[in-house]
Amino acid sequence: QKEVEQDPGPLSVPEGAIVSLNCTYSNSAFQYFMWYRQYSRKGPELLMYTYSSGNKEDGRFTAQVDKSSKYISLFIRDSQPSDSATYLCAAYGNNRLAFGKGNQVVVIP
């Protein structure tokens, strides 16, 4: 079992819809949780991170972590075609960073 599980199935949504992405993790040592965004033909870049359980909002993006259920979520409100990318969740703890497989998101104008 991978330490961070993310269903890689592509997700297509119409412009303006809410995008909901999620991951689960298994290592209780993970304390920090991140979302990376990867555009086609580019390397991943950090989108946002949260510490322990709770929510963090940054513009149209909201990251949620529920440590009791080991569940990580990312919500994108008012999605735009420019949000079309692959989103990778990641978890960090004890000097170890683990990535999920990534979710391809396509926002249709």
Partner 1 sequence: DADVTQTPRNRITKTGKRIMLECSQTKGHDRMYWYRQDPGLGLRLIYYSFDVKDINKGEISDGYSVSRQAQAKFSLSLESAIPNQTALYFCATSAPGRRITDTQYFGPGTRLTVL
Q: How many chain residues interact with partner 1 (CB under 8 A)? A: 20
From 10-18, 44-52, 58-66, 69-77, span contacting partner 1 (CB under 8 A): 44-52
Phi, psi of 16 (to 5 degrees): 95, -15
Q: Provide the strand spans (E) within the chain.
A: 4-5, 11-14, 19-25, 32-38, 45-51, 54-58, 61-66, 71-76, 85-93, 96-99, 103-108
Q: Per CB under 8 A, which of residues 66..105 are in contact with partner 1?
A: 88, 92, 95, 97, 99-102
Nearer to partner 1, 17 or 93 (CB): 93
Residues that bind partner 1 in the complex, under the rule CB under 8 A: 6, 8, 32, 34, 41-46, 49, 51, 88, 92, 95, 97, 99-102
